[in-house]
Each structure stands twice: as structure tokens, then as C-alpha cells.
Amino acid sequence: MPSNNNEQFFIGIDGGGSKCKAVVMDANNTVLGTGISGPGNPYHGFEQATNSIIESATLALHDANLADIPLSSVIVGAGLAGVNLPILYNKMSSWSHPFKSMHLATDLLIACLGAHKGEDGAVIITGTGSCGFTNVNDKTLMLGAHGFPHGDKGSGAWFGLQAVKQVLLALDKIIPPTSMTAPLLARFDSNNATALVEAVAGKPATFYAKLANLVFDEAERGDDTAKAIVLDGCGYINRVAQRLWQQNPPRMSIIGGLAFRVVPWLQTEIANRLSAPLAPPEVGAVLFAKQQIALTDIATTSLN
């Protein structure tokens, strides 16, 4: 049971397209509790994202047996998908949050800080969305993160969308039959192309991301159409990795809900150079907040 007397607690937030994860840590970087809520990407809804941040933070405090600690006393580091866009970064920065302070970053930066415990490195994220990121000598490079459906190739949402497209072509007999057809139709209780279109029309990235495992399952069973999708998406991830290595990061990790499906399909030399992440993004968010506080203290000291 943590002691609450005059102790400063930190919450790290990883807000993505599918869920928002929070972790409570003390001044010694000990993880005390965790919480998970709904989507935390303001690109897909500002109110949803802010509600998810508060909910996940509250759940993490409860999990840490710190339910009596008010949010107004907690320092938060928040890494959110979508805030690479200036308009969303500014909107989130202007949010009247309930915390003592909130230090805002992209989900890419906190993922990189977590994966390499605050040190330089690179990450490839393959979850609902996809992107690559390096942080080397205080210089960053971001690849992708352009959003679904116009970007995010090699992501869960992208794989799911390709499955729907190819199954519709197969149902129209434009391409050969694919073993993805039966499980996809069964998933939506559909029996023809029209019914499938009605089931998927207008759905968000999180919806399509749930179909990604179906593509990998059928590719691993030898379906040519599914294999073509997987090779195309993972070929893109290969090229992202090659571009990131040009920045000379000391380590590179691949993270996200689809990472374990993607790695076996990567080029051997790229897969062999990957390092396991040292900590999750939400821990990286706390490290980011502490870095920002330290920089503020240094600036204040120099002024005095």
C-alpha cells in the first residue's frame, strides 16, 4: 500500500484509436496501478478522448489503492494519437483538464521513450494505425501517421479494409475465390456483397482493425489473396524500418497490438535487428512529464 503523505504521484496516458491506457507511478518510477478506457485519439472525437483520459486515470488510481488521491494533485504526461496535427495539439493544450498539470506529447514520442527507457531510439507502431518514429540527439523523424483511410498502411485498420475490398471483388468474381470470404461474411451475418457493404459502410478505423487477424489467419493457412495483402502491408513496414535506420538510432522496437503478427513476415535482417521494448508507452508518458518538469526547473534556475 503506497503512502499518500506529501508524495507526488504521476499518471502516464497512452491515448490511441482503440483504447486509452493509464499507469500510476511514484517519484521512483515504480508502477503502482493501471487503467484502461475507451478511445483516446482526439482526431476521432475530442469529447471521447478527454472522457477516456479522465476515466483511465481514475481507474488507475483505484487499481493503485489511491482512490482518495484527487486528480487535481496528480501530474500527468499524455501521449495521444492525432496531436501530431497542430490543430488538435492546440485544442488538447487548451483543454481545462482536472489535473495538477498535464504535459502533452504525441503517442509516437512516448512510445519511443518507453521502449528505450528515456534514451534515444526508434519505434514502429502497428496497431489500429501505423507509423514510424525516431528520437536521436533531440532530433525526431516521423513517418506515416497520416490517418485512416488515406494513410496508415500496414496497420490493423488497413489490413481489415483490404480484406473487405478483396472479398467484395471475389464475390463479384473479379478475382479468384479467397478463404477470407466465408469468415468475413459469417462475422457480419451476411450472405452476399450487398449485405456485407451495408455492414461495413462508414465504419471507423477501430472497426476495420478488428478484422486484421482474419487476414493473417488466412495468409498463414496459405490463401493467396490474404498472403498478398500481408506481404504488401509488411513490405511497407520493411521500408519504414529501413528509412528509420538511416537516422542511426541505437535501438529499434516494434510495438502495437498487431506487432506479433507482423514480425514473422518482415525481412529477416530487419526482424533480427529489432529489440524488445523496455517499457510500454504509458510509462514513457511519465518519463516525458518528468523530463519537461526538469527542463522547466533548469530554465527557472538559470533565470534566477
Averaged over successive runs of 10 residues, the pLDDT of the chain (304 residues) comes to 72 91 95 95 90 97 96 96 90 96 94 94 93 94 88 95 98 97 96 96 92 98 98 98 97 94 97 95 96 78 62
pLDDT at 304: 59
pLDDT tens for residues 243-277?
999 999 999 999 989 999 999 999 999 999 999 99
Q: Cα–Cα distance between 228 and 224 in angstroms, integer?
A: 6
- Using only the alpha carbons of the chain, give its radius of gyration: 21
Query: How would you label 16-32 residue by residue, b for 16+ Cβ within 10 Å and e otherwise?
Result: bbbbbbbbbbbeeeebb
Q: Cα–Cα distance between 244 and 94 in angstroms, integer?
A: 32
pLDDT tens for residues 26-59?
999 999 999 999 999 898 889 999 999 999 999 9
Q: Cα–Cα distance between 279 and 111 in angstroms, integer?
A: 9
Q: Detail the DSSP E strand segments found in the chain.
A: 10-15, 20-25, 31-37, 75-80, 101-106, 121-126, 130-136, 139-144, 252-255
pLDDT at 128: 86
Pairing relationship of beta strands 20-25 and 31-37 according to DSSP bridges: antiparallel
Amino acid at 70: P
CB 304 within 8 A of CB 282: no
Residue with cell 490517418: 147
Residue with cell 488510481: 61
What strands lie across the sheet with 31-37, from one edge to the other?
A: 31-37, 20-25, 10-15, 75-80, 101-106
Domains within the chain, CATH numbers bracketed: 10-117+279-303 (3.30.420.40), 156-273 (3.30.420.40)
CA atoms within 13 A on the CB side of 294: 7
pLDDT at 2: 54
Q: Cα–Cα distance between 121 and 132 in angstroms, integer?
A: 11
Tell me which DSSP letter residue 95 carries: -
Pairing relationship of beta strands 121-126 and 130-136 according to DSSP bridges: antiparallel
